[in-house]
Amino acid sequence: MQGNHIRNAVRAIIIEDGKILLCKYEDKEGIFYACVGGGQNTFEDIHSALRRECKEEINSEIIIEKMVCVREAFFDNYDKSGAIERIHQIEYFFKCSLKDMKNICIGDNPDFNSLGFEWIPLKKLKDLRVFPSLFKEYIHLDGTFEDIVYLGLSN
C-alpha cells in the first residue's frame, strides 16, 4: 500500500554519563537501535508528541532542551498484522533529559516490535546498527552535537 501523506515523527536524544538511551528492536536483519520517539498525532504539537512518546515507551517524563537535527526517510512500515505501508517521514530530533532517572521502565504502549531499551556508551555507537545511520556521525563522545543539521534522506 502506498502512503499518500507525509508523517511527522519526534525523537528524544537522552544522554547521561557518556551513554545514550536507545530503544532496541529486531527485524529480519537482526538487532537495531533508535532514539525514543514516534509519530506525531493530528493536531498534536511536536513537544506534546515527544512527551507522550517518552511516556509510552520508557514511562518517563522529559525536559526538552533543544532541537538537534532533522531527518527525512522513505521506508516500508509493517504493522502487527504484517500489512505494509510505504512511508515518507520527517523526524525531528531533540536533546532531552529525564526528570527522574529512577522510574525509567518500559511504558504502557511500546512499539509492537520493541525489545526494550538500553543505555549505550557513546563510544560504542559506531559499532551498532542505529537508525538513522548518519545520526551517530554528529554526536561527539562528550555528548555534544554538531550545529543543527538536516541529515537529508537517510536510513
Q: Indicate which CATH number applies to the domain containing 80.
A: 3.90.79.10
Identify whether 154 is part of a domain.
no
Per the structure, the complete domain to which residue 19 belongs is given by 2-146
Share above pLDDT 90 across residues of the chain, in percent, rounded to a whole number: 50
User: Which of 7-11, 41-45, 86-90, 95-99 has the least mean pLDDT?
Assistant: 86-90
pLDDT digits (tens, 9 = 90+) for 108-141: 655 666 788 999 999 999 999 998 887 788 888 8
Identify whether 155 is part of a domain.
no
Identify whether 132 is part of a domain.
yes
**Counted domains in the chain:** 1
Distance CA 58, CA 87 (A): 25
Rg (CA), the chain: 15
Identify whether 151 is part of a domain.
no
Identify whether 96 is part of a domain.
yes
What's the rounded mean pLDDT across residues 33-57? 95
Which of 88, 112, 117 is CA-nearest to residue 6? 88
Identify whether 153 is part of a domain.
no
Cα–Cα distances (Å) from 153 to 31, 48, 74, in that order, read 22, 25, 8
Half-sphere exposure of 103 (CA within 13 A, CB side): 12
Judge whether residue 63 has pLDDT over 50: yes
